[in-house]
Structure 1
């Protein structure tokens, strides 16, 4: 949706806030409903100066974008709470499937490689659009990638995003572009060394996000309990995150193209879209175990069934290819091990915050 977010902004008397569906460093995300039409959307709310800056940046970025792979901004306003607290509210499109981190957790702790291929392709389309628009997302991870009920993917949370078109930047904006933004375990080495942001930084984060989808754990998961050691290893060593053990050769090669420590060696979005892992000229190592469920109940397909209002609806065949079926044999084989690690992973990852500076 191009144009200013405020063009379709709901008036304060026209919407009602529902239950919280998420939270972040800026504040809380709630489900919301239009009082007159019943339309569902989400509202991000904050009452802190840092939160105002983050949400205003997100609104400014989103108002200039128009892509089926980017979350739509529906408007923003200020409200006054009963205690006199002033809040900034940002209204955003509702995605019924939630974040990919939620999806991974609900479907056994990891995704099948064929599903990862499908999701990665759409993430790449979103990143390619952003990079053509001169924007670096700066915080690509499963939590910031949302899933629609039909399996369509959209990039979200642009609070850290930065414009890279130097011809339109003043000194303050250029300084902001050089500042650190994102979540440390997903950050590229050059970003943690404070050497500046580039489109290649998003590609490193994409590689880390694929590892997250495949393993159910953050990249560098063995260093979760030692944040300083993790930051030092990412920034200064010659190592890369541990790769998924059950990935195909094409998948491992794709990750190698994303996780080049020299940012000049990383492939671009356009190059990665032509890689066999994405283009379809491949055979996953998991295909020999794959089978379709005998009924919807086999894989708990969706708890909710929301219709998509997306203007550029995918073809039926594309929708069918996105449905997140998982191989019974692989999900059963590793479910116990993943369950043992999941609780400590979730607890320890709470110590990691999203950095929003500049």
Structure 2
């Protein structure tokens, strides 16, 4: 019997045209591509380095059994040898013309209106619930890794750092520390316990969700980092009991939602299932935020944004056999670290419409 992964690959392009490079990262390049049989557009994400190949393989393994309208779809893969004998791995992924939420916010003044954040957040939570029900932790949730369709639909993307911590057969608690010794993710969005290398759980994504909501509202990470010494600030986040700065002027429903996500004790964070019933993301008729009537409103969808926007994986890339994140913090502290070291991770990179 054919599984979903194999069946979905029957739809992968057999003859396809590679367009211009629309993005690049430490792992390789991303091309806009066209299926010559149908004329449809998709994204070809390729890697030749060992670290890039490892990340693409992990993304393929994670996506192979997933089927949700809130998760980016992988339509195929091509793992082959180049003419010079070099290994080349390519993933074929659906093209989301709206781009990332980070890019969308930039095009609309740097931030999003709370009513739009409410719509987007609900779909992100639905996507997280689906992942968690399937035993998967995304590990790198942020605006750069949330993509928007032209109709305003949201999809989670960039699963290069994702982990499957539960397969339905083993108790999740016994799997919390079973992930390999490396950690992916972006420090300013990572839960404190993950920064301390204490374990990975579904609640780690909930912390990142709170940080992502703050990012949508402010256009910046929730932490105000001292650019002169970012390493020291990151260490304080991992060891302290503080939470990111909440957006000014946010509704009481929005503040309460953030408080449910940004608990330093992971056991106190709400689950994705619980958050779906929170008033901040409730879509029932009559739900109104306690906001000023004069507050501005932004569109709930974006037409012809035409760009992806995500980070390259130069510093936070997940490598086989690499040291856990605390060890990498020490290494990075030994050199001259800039703020960009803490705002770059994952595989999805900047994609610009040409």
**The two structures share one fold, judged by TM-score above 0.5:** yes
Give 1:89 shift.
Answer: 0.5
Matches within 5 A, 1:1-358: 2-4=4-6, 6-11=9-14, 14-79=15-80, 85-165=86-166, 167=169, 175-177=178-180, 179-224=182-227, 226-280=229-283, 281-290=287-296, 301-303=302-304, 348-349=339-340, 352-354=343-345
| TM superposition score normalised by structure 1 | 0.78
| Alpha-carbon distance in 1 for matches of 2:133, 2:235 | 32
Question: After superposition, what is the alpha-carbon deviation per residue over 1:118-160, rounded to whole angstroms, capped at 9, x for unaligned?
Answer: 0000000000000000100000001110000000000011111
Alignment check: 8 A CA contact 1:141 1:186 kept? yes
User: SS of the residue aligned with 2:141?
Assistant: coil
Give 1:60 shift.
Answer: 0.9
| Alpha-carbon distance in 2 for matches of 1:133, 1:203 | 16
Alignment check: 8 A CA contact 2:19 2:34 kept? yes
Alignment check: 8 A CA contact 2:140 2:162 kept? yes
**2:309 maps to which residue?**
none
Give the aligned length: 308
Q: Relative contact order: is structure 1 or structure 2 higher (C-alpha 8 Å, sep ≥ 6)?
A: 2
Distance 1:256 1:23, change over 3 A: farther
RMSD: 2.9
Alignment check: 8 A CA contact 1:240 1:259 kept? yes
Question: After superposition, what is the alpha-carbon deviation per residue over 1:182-220, rounded to whole angstroms, capped at 9, x for unaligned?
Answer: 111100000000011000000000001111111111231
Alignment check: 8 A CA contact 2:140 2:184 kept? yes
Distance 1:82 1:218, change over 3 A: farther
Alignment check: 8 A CA contact 2:188 2:342 kept? no
Q: Which sections of structure 2, spanning at least 5 residues, go unmatched?
A: 307-337, 348-354
Q: Which sections of structure 1, spanning at least 5 residues, go unmatched?
A: 294-298, 306-346
| Alpha-carbon distance in 2 for matches of 1:291, 1:174 | 44
Distance 1:291 1:266, change over 3 A: closer
Give 1:82 shift.
Answer: 6.6
User: SS of the residue aligned with 1:277?
Assistant: coil
Higher helix share: 1
Distance 1:240 1:32, change over 3 A: same
